[in-house]
A and B are shown apart, each in its own frame.
Chain A
């Protein structure tokens, strides 16, 4: 199989995922939703395996190929987390983001730009990046919940269920964040000789996790309710700087993480 057959798998997979993501709110029969989700994942996996066999190497080299894995992991992890936690928005959200990556591969393939520099050619690349994307998605959702809760606080009507959801999503998101960081550390040891060199991106990842740790630990006690709620939007801003902003900081001119040309 080659990229020429991609559309034949991408479109059915997307139809499955999007309809699962939409039906989850309407349809009482959960097996339909789950069946669609699994079918989409299976179709997509078939393409990845086919490509693997067709190219006689694991499809991990090009940017387009790594995007295949994002879509696959987002759908899979989204499905399992949904099954475990029963948050419907989580299923729709991961389906949607998975489809965005599929569409990028359709419209802007870059499937032939194989020039991945040797340091990036590692089996840590895909899980490291994918886990971060998942964590960003979760922590983004927690931020929205925190803002809603801040409005509730103003009206003096704190929502206990919303608190529960927020804490859960932060714990899950933070779990992914730490996993991503640790994978990055092990990878850095393999590729650059040290597991933590305070490279600007690493420094900002540290700042971000400190922000979420403040939230997690302050939530264990009842004090300073407003400050604690504000911690989530603040930490999310730090996270955005880590993800996107670092490239523009003067402190990051020589970062190994700025893969610019």
Chain B
């Protein structure tokens, strides 16, 4: 062992050494604190990694360089990440831990693998190994190796930016009342902070799916049948269905209904309205008929049920949200201003900030008077996306060329 050329034995011993050091650090100084890497430390460290790779490249003819940029070490590193991943995938992970928890898994960092020393060290070694490989192959550039370059350079940039950038990411939640301007936010630790970004909420709107009907036991409130409750999804195109022992027919449906004085409903599109349905039910065994209005109600209106007998009645579930959106104006510190309509899956990006539709007053639903937005700050997002784009081009190369070329220079027997 330790005679060049180094292969798996040496690689495994080397990586195992680092994992061991990682665990020792974990036990003695605790988890790796990503906030130590906050800018400008991560920029300096990133620069140092690149400088180191360039310096190392002068030794690229050495057996050591061949090893550090070679297959056995790479495979060992990837396999080690796999094992650390397995620990992460099998032990529940926690964002915050009780500092007095002396459980062995906690002490070894198994409950927060991504900020444990072994993970951070192996991640770092992978960056060095992959980086030295890229340098070696770039010096001996061959354009027919395009797939190799896209995959490895893309992945390297992605690992570099995602790893170092993790320290700079900040997430805040802001609650804005309709018609008001807000710049105070809650941080992840629930501290109130003031940001250089202010948001004015012009309007919050929400659309809901038609609700479902179900039969409940009036005493226990449980849906029937007990073990496997039936739900009838209201859909005007499909008016017929069954619930437990009853055939159901949807006679009329009003999505935004308001109750009349005679306990019928009429369509009135306004925030306080609620879905209502006129339903007839026929008992499959006895043929008994029931007919009447059912309404789920909300903060502004009472609910209405359709009694079937002394024990059971038909009720309407609370409607599920279909879309919710906030019409906002964003004011930045530098005086710039932007108008946008935020929606789930349609965030607004301004520089390094991304603003998301986050939530609303769940109790009030459509009547919510405020909208919650999440503001995420990530100055490393563009390099990450560059990595993602290169890597996806690399994947498409893999799809297209497969494993066509068999390398003559490699020692595949």
Contact = CB atoms under 8 A, between A and B. Distances in A.
Interface of A: 81, 84-85, 112-115, 117-119, 121-122, 164, 167-172, 174-176, 178-179, 182, 185-187, 189-191, 193-196, 198, 200, 203-204, 206-207, 210-211, 213-214, 217-224, 241, 249-251, 253
Contacts of A81: 399
Interface in B355-413: 356, 374, 376, 381, 384-385, 388, 391-392, 394-404, 407, 410-413
Contact of B89 (A185, A189, A191, A207): A207
Given A214-B79, A253-B92, A168 B403 contact: yes
Given A112-B238, A207-B82, A217-B75, A190 B391 contact: no
15 contacts: A115-B322, A118-B323, A168-B403, A168-B404, A169-B402, A175-B398, A190-B345, A193-B171, A198-B93, A203-B85, A203-B88, A214-B79, A219-B412, A223-B8, A253-B92
Given A185-B388, A223-B7, A112 B322 contact: no
B325 to A, nearest CB: 10
Given A121-B345, A251-B92, A218 B398 contact: no
Interface in B1-45: 7-8
B344 A191 contact: yes
A221 B345 contact: no
B81 A210 contact: yes
Given A171-B398, A217-B71, A249-B89, A112 B233 contact: yes
A167 B401 CA distance: 11
A217 B78 contact: yes
Given A167-B403, A210-B82, A222-B413, A193 B376 contact: yes
B378 to A, nearest CB: 8
A12 to B, nearest CB: 25
Contacts of B209: 114-115
B391 A182 contact: yes
Contact of A218 (B75, B89, B402): B75
B142 interface: no
Contact of A210 (B79, B114, B233): B79
B337 interface: no
Contacts of B322: 115, 118
Given A118-B344, A121-B344, A251-B92, A211 B237 contact: no
Contacts of B169: 194
A200 B90 CA distance: 9
Nearest to B70: A221
Nearest to A213: B78
B251 interface: no
B324 A118 contact: yes
A221 B410 contact: yes
Contacts of B356: 193
Contacts of A220: 71, 407, 410, 412
Nearest to A186: B388
Contacts, number: 148
What are the 3 closest A-B residue pairs judged by CB atoms, nearest first? A175-B398, A222-B413, A210-B82
A182 B392 contact: yes
A167 B407 CA distance: 13
Given A114-B209, A207-B82, A172 B399 contact: yes
A215 to B, nearest CB: 9
Nearest to B323: A118
B267 interface: no
A18 to B, nearest CB: 26
B392 A179 contact: yes
B307 interface: no
A191 B345 contact: yes
Nearest to B80: A210
Question: Which of B7, B82, B346 counts the most A-chain CB atoms under 10 A from its CB?
Answer: B82
A95 B401 CA distance: 23
Contact of B82 (A164, A200, A211, A218): A211
Nearest to B401: A171
Nearest to B404: A168
A167 B406 CA distance: 11
A210 B392 CA distance: 17
Question: Which of B344, B404, B407 counts the most A-chain CB atoms under 10 A from its CB?
Answer: B344
B234 to A, nearest CB: 10
